[in-house]
Amino acid sequence: MSQPELLRELQLPQAHLSAASALVRVAERLFVVADDELHLGLFDLGDPAPGRLVRLFEGSLPAEKKARKAAKPDLEALALLPAMADFAQGALLALGSGSTLGRQRGVLLGLTEQAAPRLIDLAPLYRPLHAQFADLNIEGGFLLGDEFLLLQRGNQGQASNAAVRYAWPALRDWLLGTGEAPAPRAIQRLELGELQGVALGFTDGAALADGRWLFSAVAENTADSYNDGACLGAVIGLVEADGQVRRLAQLAGRWKVEGITLAADGSLLLVTDADDPQVAASLLRLPLVL
């Protein structure tokens, strides 16, 4: 068992970020999406002061739990994109899970202070994936060389985890409105194993410079992508360039790790979701030995 270090809770000036679902680091800034919010959380890694929210979608969400769950965009993936047309300093791409028709929205947000969110209809991109996966649930996305990977999360009812690979230039052109939604270059189904008889499912991923990539996965006792279940634990793993999966660490405790990113010192930063709106998400650090 590996014991992560608790760095902070994700507090805001008036409340806290609860259901953290993906994490990106840009220098000392941490960007966090939460699956039950219309905003992005922005935190300073070197400053324990509360973070702030950046609006991604207009409107508001109901406070009541079931109504909020039905209405939320369910942002589950956040990727850092390089400089490209209209985004000279790069951009963030936030992606809905695709688990319902209302969760097929994404957002492009430039990394400048004045950037306004650009909404993306993900339905054309996700349509072929619904044909491949009976229970689509996109939980991670990241650039890996000249490819962009989406991570499909399996569950106890349909334990099919997969990495969906796209040619990055084709996906970039579609995001910028200058091309058609690309078909996947390949779909790589991966076996992650289980904890205490419950299947592990992807929750996020992060690229390494040598072509390998890291992932977080949790054992959540639920039979579908909509309903939450008890979390029995989390693991950090590595996918080799040849597709072989290697488990690096099983975390002590029952942290539901939903987002990961590499720190400047090579350790791994993680954010959690307690599945309780009254509990703040946690930021953790875990040393890595690859």
Would you state the pLDDT for residue 35? 86
Residue 35 sits at the vertex; the CA angle it makes with 131 and 48, to the nearest 5 degrees, is: 145
Per residue in 60-97, pLDDT (tens digit) is 887 777 888 888 898 999 999 999 999 999 999 999 99
Would you state the pLDDT for residue 71? 83
Q: Which domains does the chain have, with CATH numbers?
A: 5-286 (2.120.10.100)
CA 188/CA 163 separation, integer angstroms? 5
| Predicted TM-score of the model (pTM) | 0.95
Give every CB contact of residue 59 below 8 A, 6+ residues apart in sequence: 38
- What mean pLDDT value characterizes the chain? 94
